[in-house]
Structure 1
Amino acid sequence: MMDKLYKAFVDATSHVFQLMLNIPEISAHPEKTLKCDEAVDIAIGIVGDLQGEVVYRFPVATSLNMVKIMSGMEFDAVDVFVTSAISEVANIISGNVLTALSGGDLRCDILPPVQQKPDEGKAYEIESSCCICTAIGEICLEIRLNRASHMLH
C-alpha cells in the first residue's frame, strides 16, 4: 500500500508540475525529517476507505517561484494570493492521486485545502514523508492515513 501511495503522489506531482509549471524533471526521495524551516503548509484531508491527511510543505522560495510561473507576477512575500494558488496546486495533485488509486477498489474523497501544520500527536497506520526536488525548489509531502474501519476486516 505504501509503495503504491508513494508512487501515486510522485507521479501526480510530476504530472501537475509538467502541465501547470512546464517543469518536466522532478526527483523524489524518502525523507524522515522535513528540513523546510519557513514553509507554506497546506493540509488536504482525505475521507473514505483511507482517512487522514496529506500535508504539503512548500518552502517560501518554492512557493514564490511557483506563483511567479503560474501568474507571471513577481511576489516578494507569501500573501493570501500566493497561499490560495499553492493550495490549489496541492488540491489538484491530491485529486490526481485519488483518481489514480480509485482504479482499484479504493474509494476516497478529498476535503478543501487548509493552511495548517500536521497534527504531530496523532498516530497513523500509514505514515510516510518524502521530498520532491524540482528546478524551482523542493516540496515536502507528509502522508498520514488510517484505513477505514470497514477495510480492516
Structure 2
Amino acid sequence: MVDELYKAFVDSTYNVFNLMFNISDISVHSTENFTCDDEIDIVVGIVGELQGEVTYRFPVATSLSMVNIMSGMEFEDVDIFVTSAISEVANIISGNVVTALSDHTKKYDILPPVQGKPDDSKEYEIESSCCVSTSIGGICLKIGLNSA
C-alpha cells in the first residue's frame, strides 16, 4: 500500500505541475537533502478507508513562483492570496490522489486544506515522505495514514 500511495502522490504532483505550471522537469528525492528555513505548510486531511493527513511543505520562493505563474501577477511577499492559492494546489493534488486510489470497494475523501504544522505527536501505520524538485523550486510531501 505504501508504494501505491507514494506513486499516487508523485504522479498527481507531476500532473498538477505539468498542467497548471507547464513544468515537466520534475525529479523526486528523499527529504534528507531538503532544507528550508522559510516555508508554507499546508495540511490536507484524508478520511475514509484510510485516515490521516498529508503535509505539503512549500518554500516561500517556490510558493511565490507558483502564484506568479497562476495569477500572471508578481508577488514578493506571502499574503492571504498566496496562501490561498498554494492551499488550492495542495487540495488539487490531494483530490487527484484520492481519486486514483478509490475504486468500487475503497472510498477516500479529503478535508479542506489548512495552513499550519502537522501534529508530529501522532503515530501512523503508513508513513512516507519525499521531495519533488522542479525548475521553479521544490516541495516536500509528508504522508501519515491509519486504517479506518
What is the CA–CA distance in structure 2 between the aligned matches of 1:70 and 1:2, rounded to whole Å?
31
Question: 1:107 is matched with which residue?
Answer: 107
Deviation string 1:79-137 (CA, Å, 9 cap, x unpaired) is: 00000000000000000000000136321100000001111111111111100001100
Question: 1:126 is matched with which residue?
Answer: 126
What fraction of aligned residue pairs are identical, expressed as a percent? 69
User: TM-score, normalising length from structure 1?
Assistant: 0.92
Question: 1:28 is matched with which residue?
Answer: 28
22-31 or 111-120, which moves further after superposition? 22-31
- In structure 2, relative to structure 1, the CA distance for the partners of 1:103 and 1:86 (3 Å cut) is same
SS at match of 1:58: strand
Question: 1:151 is matched with which residue?
Answer: none
What is the CA–CA distance in structure 1 between the aligned matches of 2:83 and 2:48, rounded to whole Å?
27
Moved beyond 3 Å, runs of 4+: none
Question: 2:82 is matched with which residue?
Answer: 82
Trace 1:60-99 onto structure 2 (pairs within 5 A): 60-99=60-99
SS at match of 1:42: strand
Is the 8 Å Cα contact of residues 43 and 115 (structure 1) preserved in structure 2? yes
Q: CA deviation at 1:31?
A: 2.3
What is the CA–CA distance in structure 2 between the aligned matches of 1:37 and 1:121, rounded to whole Å?
21
Paired AA for residue 96 in structure 1 = N
CA RMSD of aligned residues (A): 1.3
Q: CA deviation at 1:24?
A: 1.3
Matched residue count: 148
Paired AA for residue 112 in structure 2 = P
User: TM-score, normalising length from structure 2?
Assistant: 0.96
